[in-house]
Amino acid sequence: MSRQWVYSLVKRHKKEGIGAYKAKKAGRPRQQISSRFVQKTIELRKETDYGSEKLHFVFKRMGFGVSQYMLQRILDENRLTEPCENRRGQRKYVRYCWPISNYMWHVDWSQDGDKWYCAFIDDCSRKIISAGEFTHATEDNTIFLLYQAILSNEVCPNIILSDKGSQFYANKYKNSGEKGVSRFEEDLVELGIEFWTSRRNHPQTNGKMEKWFHTLKSRMKKHPNEKLQDFVKWYNEKRIHHALEYKTPEEVYQEKL
């Protein structure tokens, strides 16, 4: 031990006492956060359900220079995040979407409790073209929602993509061995719309619908009194998307028409 190190220890002992010999925490000391800013973050989180990444973008647009790490810390400390014990590392995705609005619509059904939800979503902008809440997932309800989507938006897509559910696709074959045709398929032929189906047990093909249903159900848990059409309006016109460069579906839909 050098003489200089001994002098350094004596100096630290005079200043800090026995604490001079305790191990120091690595990294910079934790920065204090304004209580008003914490409250503003909590209010925005409850209103929008945004995570730290989207909150960082919103605050940056407002002129705040806060880091995403700081926002994540606020959410964690106020128990506004759900723990994920099996969290995986960052995954790379390859996004596929048509370059213009209304070229392809996705459609699917999902159940939540005793209710069934069906929606048509635009592939390019992720705008919800039409959505409905039903007691049963039937072909009749699918066709009703299809015509509602077409009439309310005054447009027909070139392609509709769904899974091979019985509400869209005829899974039975005729005695001759020829595949049957559902009424949904017949209506698409009359409208001049091409019908695509995803591979069985491969929900990723219709991933935009799966993600939307997940967002819907998460939102309903936090806002149980919100009506479906109010949620659709919020989703289309107010909720920004990371995949859309932090724009809303309505903004992208209009840009890509």
What one-character-per-residue DSSP string does 50-116 give?
Answer: --HHHHHHHHHHHT----HHHHHHHHHHTT-S---TTPPPP--------SSTTSEEEEEEEEETTEE
pLDDT above 70 coverage of the chain, percent: 92
For 141-179, the pLDDT digits (tens) are 999 999 999 999 999 999 999 999 999 998 777 777 677
The count of domains in the chain is 2
Residue 9 forms part of a structural domain: no
Q: How confident is the model at residue 125 (pLDDT cuts 50, 70, 90)?
A: very high
So what's the pLDDT on residue 89?
A: 57
Residue 217 forms part of a structural domain: yes
Least confident of 1-10, 15-24, 38-47: 15-24
So what's the pLDDT on residue 16?
A: 80
Degrees, nearest 5: CA angle 214-225-251: 55
Query: Same domain for 66 and 116?
Result: no
Query: Same domain for 56 and 172?
Result: no
Residue 25 forms part of a structural domain: no
Least confident of 7-16, 23-32, 44-53, 232-241: 23-32
Query: Same domain for 42 and 77?
Result: yes
Query: Same domain for 74 and 115?
Result: no
Query: Same domain for 52 and 147?
Result: no
Mean per-residue pLDDT for 89-117?
Answer: 86
Query: Same domain for 231 and 116?
Result: yes
Q: Treating both helix axes as pointing N-terminal to C-terminal, what angle do 35-48 and 68-77 enclose, rounded to 10 degrees? A: 80
Query: Same domain for 179 and 231?
Result: yes
3-state secondary structure of 178: coil
Q: Determine the structural domain holding residue 187 and report its residue range.
A: 104-255
Least Cα distance to 253 among 62, 77, 99, 82 occurs for 99
Query: Same domain for 51 and 145?
Result: no
For 59-78, the pLDDT digits (tens) are 999 999 899 999 999 999 99
Residue 88 forms part of a structural domain: no
Backbone phi and psi for residue 193, each to the nearest 5 degrees, phi listed first: -100, 130
Query: Same domain for 154 and 184?
Result: yes
Return the structure tokens found at 125.
């902008």
Single pTM value for the model:
0.80
Our measurement of the distance from residue 199's CA atom to the centroid of its chain's CA atoms, rounded to an integer in Å, reads: 23
Query: Same domain for 220 and 175?
Result: yes
Least Cα distance to 188 among 119, 127, 107 occurs for 107
| Last residue within a domain, chosen from 83, 118, 144 | 83
| Last residue within a domain, chosen from 50, 83, 116 | 83
Which residue pairs, CB below 8 angstroms and at least 24 apart, start in 86-95? 95/243
For 140-150, the pLDDT digits (tens) are 999 999 999 99
Residue 95 forms part of a structural domain: no
In single-letter form, the type of residue at position 213 comes to F
3-state secondary structure of 194: strand
d(CA 195, CA 187): 10
- For residue 160, the domain's CATH number is 3.30.420.10
So what's the pLDDT on residue 94?
A: 60
* Res. 93: pLDDT tops 70: no
So what's the pLDDT on residue 141?
A: 97
Residue 61 forms part of a structural domain: yes
DSSP H or E stretch at residue 133: strand 128-134
* Res. 110: pLDDT tops 90: yes
Residue 249 forms part of a structural domain: yes
d(CA 119, CA 110): 9
Residue 89 forms part of a structural domain: no
Query: Same domain for 79 and 109?
Result: no
Query: Same domain for 210 and 157?
Result: yes
For tokens 């049963």, the residue is 136
